[in-house]
Structures are given as C-alpha cells and as structure tokens.
Amino acid sequence: MDMSPNKIPVLIGDQKLFDTLSEIIVQINNQKNTKFDIVLYDQKTEIFNPTIITDKFALKSLESHNLDYDIKKIYLIDNAENLKVKSTIKSEIIEINTPIHVNDFFERVSNDLIQELKSNQSIINFNTFKYDFNSRSLFNQKNSLRFTEKENEIFSCLLNYKNKPVSKKQLLKDIWQYDDQIDTHTLETHIYSLRKKLETKLGLENFLNHLDEGYQLDTSLL
C-alpha cells in the first residue's frame, strides 16, 4: 500500500490501537492543516515521509525487514511494555508513553512539524536546477519559473512520489481531499498549464509525463 507523502504516516501494528486511532484521526484531519494517514502496517506499506508515528509492533516489523526508508524522526507510541525493540533504525525516536491524551499528542506532532518547516530551508537541489517550495519557484542559472499556488502543490506532490507515477485519484485525494466540487477536468487543466510552462520557460520537454498509471516527473532532467 502506498501512503500519501503529503500526510504524516501513522503505522500501527496493534489492531485495537488502530481501531481507536482511526476514528480520532478522521476528526483531527477535518480540523487541522497537518494531515495524518493511518494504516494497519504490513511490510508492503511504502513510506515516503521522513516523519512517522508508529507503535512498537509496527516498528519491530520495520526493523526486522530492514526496509530502506529515509526516516528521520519516529514518534513511538509505547503500547507494549514487554516488547523489546532493537532501535537499529538510524532515526530520532521520540517515545510517547501510554496512556496518552490523543488530541494533545497529535497537536504536539503538528506543532513540531510546523517549527521544522520554518527552521529548515525549503530549497531542494538537483543537478542543474533548484526548487524552492516557499517561493513556488523552479530555477537554474539561466531561467526561472514561478508556479501558481495550485501548480506548486501538484509539482510538490509529484516530486514527493520520487519518480513514481501518481494516479488522478491519488492527486485529487492528496491535494483536494476529494472535494466534491473538484473533478478530473480541473486537475487536467492545471497539469496542462504546468506542463506547458515547464516546456516553454525551462525547456523541460518529456519531464511531466502522462502514463497509463498516472502522472510522473522525470527528475533526471533536472
């Protein structure tokens, strides 16, 4: 299962905890800018976000399968006192003891992420291009392209999937949260405009591609 890179993954191995958190996260996602994506973890789950929330059962599974994910921070819900975790994953682990006040916990994670975004540089360096999320710009030494707000969201979303094709359905979910007022034509219009700008202003032909599986960026051209 692919998780959205624009949401914080909540990987839970314990069924009871999963059931409890699932209902709460639906409410939280309707209230906060930071969104959370909860799954009952198995080794087929793909992780794109460098920050995750997990319990000991899911973390132990992650470690035992030696999955190569670039996870920098783990919020660990300590829901199993007798379950030992080796902590072989090279990540910052913030342990949260149970019982927890769930709303306070997710509020803390949201605030932590906001502070990180403010303190970290928003620029991503490629071979010859740079992308600045905050200024909505993709540029090199000769040319620069500034995206509209929605183009920037689409570009950032595609970029986060790391050259994998992203379906229209997934893009609508990640960017518009399945807004009933949004249809695929709206998405296609934004994609068309984005592709044209990339080609005419930066010379990036065959960079934003439409495949059978969805839309894909070829970042090797950057």
Instruction: Convert the pLDDT of each residue in 147-191 to its tens digit.
Output: 998 999 899 888 877 788 888 888 887 787 665 556 678 889 999
* Contact between 48 and 5 (Cβ < 8 Å): yes
DSSP single-letter state for residue 50:
S
| Tokens matching residue 166 | 């992203």
Q: Where are the domains of the chain?
A: 8-119, 123-221
Distance of alpha carbon 1 from alpha carbon 205, whole angstroms: 31
Phi, psi of 171, rounded to the nearest 5 degrees: -65, -40
Instruction: Convert the pLDDT of each residue in 92-140 to its tens digit.
Output: 888 877 666 777 788 778 777 766 655 555 688 899 999 988 888 999 9
| Tokens matching residue 124 | 């991503």
Q: What is the pLDDT of residue 80?
A: 61
Angle at CA 135, nearest 5°, toward 34 and 48?
40
The residue written with tokens 């490629």 in the block is 126
Amino acid identity of 194?
L
The residue written with tokens 């403010």 in the block is 118
Element (H, E) at 60: helix 56-64
DSSP single-letter state for residue 219:
G
Q: 8-119 belongs to which CATH class? A: alpha beta
Angle at CA 62, nearest 5°, toward 56 and 63?
90
User: Is-above-0.75 flag for pTM?
Assistant: no
Instruction: Convert the pLDDT of each residue in 15-63 to its tens digit.
Output: 988 998 888 888 877 766 677 888 898 867 777 677 888 888 888 887 7
Q: What is the pLDDT of residue 3?
A: 54
The residue written with tokens 């990640």 in the block is 174
Domain 123-221 in CATH 1.10.10.10: yes
| Tokens matching residue 216 | 């894909």
DSSP single-letter state for residue 46:
B
> Residue 221's closest CA among 148, 159, 129?
129
